[in-house]
Homo-oligomer: A and B are copies of this chain.
């Protein structure tokens, strides 16, 4: 694989899983030595991360963007517009096969979630597969690109609700309804079920996010400036 792509994927993964915290300053030379490539591919990776909105130019160098409470609300507003549309389109155009499979696996999700932490990977795999199936069924490359971008940011927020089994169980039920609406080719229901799901998700994310923000604030109240990785 190209060094530029490797650098991009590595940095993106580190930002999404939180190892590179918001506010972290990413400098070209520093990252190039750390990742073992020259500045050129690192530059390329940073530009792409900037286009994704995961880093932002800040005077000197690029800093990992923060996800504020307002950002979460904004992101969910956009997700609602995009995913409701995608679900409606999927309801109109889809092939049954992939959604039948996902439906079966979602019916099994509560059992996965009883296992606690080890079941989370497989569970999120189902959700990701559903997202991909909807995107594919919608058959709209522009919508698909926009969806992938919001999912990128959603991945950063999802970590907040990882440890809320009750919410995850409810979410599985909401996903199931979306799948069944698509299978029934009921575009309006698919769209509204998506709206409901995202509304509940947002409510939960805001609740846990304020705790997380509070914790981070009390942890290092004065540390608002960029910090070096």
Q: A residues touching B (Cβ–Cβ < 8 Å)?
A: 40, 43-44, 47-48, 51, 53, 71, 74-75, 77-78, 80-82, 84-85, 89, 139-143, 145-146, 149-150, 153
Contacts and interface: CB of A to CB of B under 8 A. Distances in A.
Given A53-B145, A146-B146, A78 B140 contact: yes
Could you tell me the dominant secondary structure of chain A's interface residues? helix
Given A74-B143, A78-B146, 20 more contacts: A40-B40, A43-B44, A44-B44, A47-B48, A51-B51, A53-B145, A74-B139, A74-B140, A74-B141, A74-B142, A77-B142, A77-B143, A78-B85, A78-B140, A80-B85, A81-B82, A81-B85, A82-B82, A142-B150, A142-B153
A74 B143 CA distance: 7
B48 A51 contact: yes
Contacts of A75: 142
A145 B149 CA distance: 11
A77 B153 contact: no
A211 B11 CA distance: 47
A176 B142 CA distance: 28
A128 to B, nearest CB: 20
A81 B142 contact: no
A82 B48 CA distance: 23
B143 A81 contact: yes
A48 to B, nearest CB: 7
A77 B85 contact: yes
A40 B4 CA distance: 14
Contact of A44 (B47, B77, B81, B139): B47
23 contacts: A43-B44, A44-B44, A47-B48, A48-B51, A53-B142, A53-B145, A74-B139, A74-B140, A74-B142, A74-B143, A77-B89, A77-B142, A77-B143, A78-B140, A78-B143, A78-B146, A80-B85, A81-B81, A81-B82, A81-B143, A82-B146, A142-B150, A142-B153
